[in-house]
Chains A and B, each alone.
Chain A
Amino acid sequence: ETGVTQSPTHLIKTRGQQVTLRCSSQSGHNTVSWYQQALGQGPQFIFQYYREEENGRGNFPPRFSGLQFPNYSSELNVNALELDDSALYLCASSSYRDPETQYFGPGTRLLVL
């Protein structure tokens, strides 16, 4: 079991609303990555944060944004929700010195109606 936690575990929103998902990283990890996993698909990289700055971004529109705090916890914000945003959102923390080793949180399951 990793030390990465996510909240909430489940969430239901309607189209057009905004949502904030939270991630608490493994102790000592200064890098967090966020992934979207649609049903039946593998995770897709959204973006990564290192030392509170965005450090790489996948093919997601600007309405997906993030924050990383000094304690390395992180948020994923999604504005103007669309039905296709329904997915499992995973965060994973790692150390910048060992980027290959990621520890995943349990995920937040988002349903957009």
Chain B
Amino acid sequence: KNEVEQSPQNLTAQEGEFITINCSYSVGISALHWLQQHPGGGIVSLFMLSSGKKKHGRLIATINIQEKHSSLHITASHPRDSAVYICAVRWAGNQFYFGTGTSLTVIP
């Protein structure tokens, strides 16, 4: 049983396409995180959300607390966006729960 579900698992897009990655979770949380992981393994935090919407450059993250759902959008995708995108949540206790990740490949 995974408390955090992501879809799709894999995604291939043409350069310039609009991309959406979805994340659902099963319990109430204090915040949801979107992370980016490049092939080398290092993880970079993109967003932390507790409500509404955040935007950073071509990346937009939204969250609906009532529906326990979040989306990460990438506008005008570029090959350098190719990476694994992971959502993570933290609730009671100290541990984070991570989704299995969405592997994105953007083709020139």
Contact = CB atoms under 8 A, between A and B. Distances in A.
Contacts, number: 61
B95 A101 contact: no
Contacts of A48: 94-95
A58 B42 contact: no
A55 B41 contact: no
Interface residues of B, number: 24
B21 to A, nearest CB: 13
Nearest to B43: A104
A65 interface: no
Interface residues of A, number: 26
Interface string A35-60: 10100111111001000000110100
Contacts of A44: 98
Nearest to B30: A100
Given A37-B41, A43-B96, A58-B95, 9 more contacts: A33-B95, A41-B100, A43-B43, A44-B98, A45-B95, A90-B43, A102-B96, A105-B42, A106-B42
Interface of A: 33, 35, 37, 40-45, 48, 55-56, 58, 88, 90, 92, 99-107, 109
